[in-house]
C-alpha cells in the first residue's frame, strides 16, 4: 500500500509510535510518506520505501501565527494526489484529524478519494482534547474519520465517555521493537554510574506536569534512605527546573543525574533495576513498556492504560496517583528481595513480548485493508 503518515516529529510518544510504525511498514514493502513540519526524531537515517514531505508555512506580515493547519492540508492534498496514496493515517487528533478531513474534502472535489484513519494517543483525548477550545472539533473529526484506533482499552473508554462519538474505535496497542529494546551488557556504564554496586532507578519522560517527576524524586528519597541507590532522570521539558529545585531541597543532587534527551535510552535501561512512572494520566505508557522489554520491573501509578501494560504483583506494582509512600515501599520491597526482583524481571520481559512489533504490525495492516475496503462503500456519507 501507499500510506501517508501525519504526526508530530518531536520526541513525544505519539510521534515515536507513528515513526516506528511507518518504518516497520516500509520494511514490509509498503511505501510510507511522512508529512510533518520537520524531520521526525526517529527518522534520521536512510530507510528504504520511506519518503519525507516537509510542511512549510509561508510567512506574511498579517499573520501573528502562520496558519499551520492550512499549510498541512495543502501538503496532504499535494502528496495524496501526486503520490497516489491509498490511505492517510494521522496520529494525535489535534489538529491532524480535522486537517485530514479538510484535505479529504478538497481531494473529493478533484475526484480523488482518500480514506483517513485517526489514531488517538492520550492527551489529545484525556487532557488537551477535552478543553472547550478544541472539543467540538475533536469529536467532529473523530466521527468523520473512516477508521479510528486507540492505543489502549482505557483510552477507548475515555474517548466514549468524554465525547459524543458514534464511530467504532479499534484498539491496537503500542508496540516494541526487540531488535533495539533488549537487555545488553553495559557493565562499563554501570561501573561509571554506580561504582559501589548501588541500585539504579530510572525515569524517562518529557517532564510535563502530567508525569509528576517530582514524585519520582520523593520516591527516590525514601528508597535512598534504606538502600544505596542512584536515580537517572532521562528526558527534558517544562518541569525540569522545578524538579532540580526539589533535588536541591532534599539534598540529593549528588545521587541524581539529569541526563537530558538521550538517543540510546535502551543502553541506560540495560543497567536499570527499577523504572518509575507515577503519571497523573497515561493512556498507555510506552516508556514503561520499553523498560520492561529491557527486563526492568515498573513502579507506576494505576491510571489509564498502565494496568494493561504493568501487571500489579507480576511485572511491578501499581499505586494510586500521588501515593509516593506506597510507591517507595513497593520499590524497597522489590529491591530488597533478590529472588522476587529476578522473577519480576523475567515477567516484565514476558509481558513486553505480547507487544512485539511483529504481532502488532499485522493488526495495522489488516485494519488498513478493512477500512479502505469498507470506506469505499460510504464515500459520500462522511
Which parts of this chain interact with ligand GMT (CB under 6 A)?
A: 12-14, 17, 92, 121-123, 126, 151, 174, 206, 210, 281-286
Q: Are 8 and 35 in contact (CB under 8 A)?
A: no
CB of 74 to ligand GMT, least distance (A): 24
Of 13 and 115, CB closest to ligand GMT: 13
CB of 206 to ligand GMT, least distance (A): 5
Alpha carbon 325 to its chain centroid, in Å, reads 27
Of 283 and 310, CB closest to ligand GMT: 283
Of 126 and 229, CB closest to ligand GMT: 126
CB of 6 to ligand GMT, least distance (A): 13
The DSSP symbol for 58 reads P
Of 198 and 236, CB closest to ligand GMT: 236
Of 80 and 286, CB closest to ligand GMT: 286
Of 21 and 73, CB closest to ligand GMT: 21
Of 85 and 151, CB closest to ligand GMT: 151
* Exposed e or buried b per residue across 141-176, where buried means at least 16 C-beta atoms within 10 angstroms of its C-beta: bbbbbbbbbbbbebbbebbeeebebebebbbbbbbb
Q: Are 120 and 93 in contact (CB under 8 A)?
A: yes
CB of 77 to ligand GMT, least distance (A): 25
CB of 122 to ligand GMT, least distance (A): 2
CA distances from residue 186 to 27, 189, 294, 342 in whole angstroms, order as listed: 29, 5, 12, 18
Closest of 282, 69, 93, 86 to residue 169, by C-alpha: 93
CA distances from residue 124 to 22, 185, 202 in whole angstroms, order as listed: 21, 38, 26
Closest of 144, 137, 96 to residue 379, by C-alpha: 144
Q: Are 135 and 317 in contact (CB under 8 A)?
A: no
CB of 110 to ligand GMT, least distance (A): 32
Strand order in the sheet with 116-120: 50-54, 31-36, 2-6, 87-91, 116-120, 147-150, 170-171
Of 224 and 284, CB closest to ligand GMT: 284
Of 83 and 236, CB closest to ligand GMT: 236
Which triple of cell numbers denotes residue 122? Answer: 492520550
Of 12 and 77, CB closest to ligand GMT: 12
CB of 48 to ligand GMT, least distance (A): 25
Cβ atoms within 10 A of the Cβ of 74, count?
A: 17
CB of 156 to ligand GMT, least distance (A): 13
CB of 132 to ligand GMT, least distance (A): 20
CB of 64 to ligand GMT, least distance (A): 26
Distance CA 287, CA 272 (A): 13
Q: Cell 538502600 maps to which residue? A: 227
Q: Cell 540495560 maps to which residue? A: 270
Burial label, 338 (beta-carbon count in 10 A; 0-12, 13-18, 19+): exposed
Which triple of cell numbers denotes residue 335? Answer: 529491591
Closest of 195, 214, 218 to residue 205, by C-alpha: 214
Amino acid at each position: 500500500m501507499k500510506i501517508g503518515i501525519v504526526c508530530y516529529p518531536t520526541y513525544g510518544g505519539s510521534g515515536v509510535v507513528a515513526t516506528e510504525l511507518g518504518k516497520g511498514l516500509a520494511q514490509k514493502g509498503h511505501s510510507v510518506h511522512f508529512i510533518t513540519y520537520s524531520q521526525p526524531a526517529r527518522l534520521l537515517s536512510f530507510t528504504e520505501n520511506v519518503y519525507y514531505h516537509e510542511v512549510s508555512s509561508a510567512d506574511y506580515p498579517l499573520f501573528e501565527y502562520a496558519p499551520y493547519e492550512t499549510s498541512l492540508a495543502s501538503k496532504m492534498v499535494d502528496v495524496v494526489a501526486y503520490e497516489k496514496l491509498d490511505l492517510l493515517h494521522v496520529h494525535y487528533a489535534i489538529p491532524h484529524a480535522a486537517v485530514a478531513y479538510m484535505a479529504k474534502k478538497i481531494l473529493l472535489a478533484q475526484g480523488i478519494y482518500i480514506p483517513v484513519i485517526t489514531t488517538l494517543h492520550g492527551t489529545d483525548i484525556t487532557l488537551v482534547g477535552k478543553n472547550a477550545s478544541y472539543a467540538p472539533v475533536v469529536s467532529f473529526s473523530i466521527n468523520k474519520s473512516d477508521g479510528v484506533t486507540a492505543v489502549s482499552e482505557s483510552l477507548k473508554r475515555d474517548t466514549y465517555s468524554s465525547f459524543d462519538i458514534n464511530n467504532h474505535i479499534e484498539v491496537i496497542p503500542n508496540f516494541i521493537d526487540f531488535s533495539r529494546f533488549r537487555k545488553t551488557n553495559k557493565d562499563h556504564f554501570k561501573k561509571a554510574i554506580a561504582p559501589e554496586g548501588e541500585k539504579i532507578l530510572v525515569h524517562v519522560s518529557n517532564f510535563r506536569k502530567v508525569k509528576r517527576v517530582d514524585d519520582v524524586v520523593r520516591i527516590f528519597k525514601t528508597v535512598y534512605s534504606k538502600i544505596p541507590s542512584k536515580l537517572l532522570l532521562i528526558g527534558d521539558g517544562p518541569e525540569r527546573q522545578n524538579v532540580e529545585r526539589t533535588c536541591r531541597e532534599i539534598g540529593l543532587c549528588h545521587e541524581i543525574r539529569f541526563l537530558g534527551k538521550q538517543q540510546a535510552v535502551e543502553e541506560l535501561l540495560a543497567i536499570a533495576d527499577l523504572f518509575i512512572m507515577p503519571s497523573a494520566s497515561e493512556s498507555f505508557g510506552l516508556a514503561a513498556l520499553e523498560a520492561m522489554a529491557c527486563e526492568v520491573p515498573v513502579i507506576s501509578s494505576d491510571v489509564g492504560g498502565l494496568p494493561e501494560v504493568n501487571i500489579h504483583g507480576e511485572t511491578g506494582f501499581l499505586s494510586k496517583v500521588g501515593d509516593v509512600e506506597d510507591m517507595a515501599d513497593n520499590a524497597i520491597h522489590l529491591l530488597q528481595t533478590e529472588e522476587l526482583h529476578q522473577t519480576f524481571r523475567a515477567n516484565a520481559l514476558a509481558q513486553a513480548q505480547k507487544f512485539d512489533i511483529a504481532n502488532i504490525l499485522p493488526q495495522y495492516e489488516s485494519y488498513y485493508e478493512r477500512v479502505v475496503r469498507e470506506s469505499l462503500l460510504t464515500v459520500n456519507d462522511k
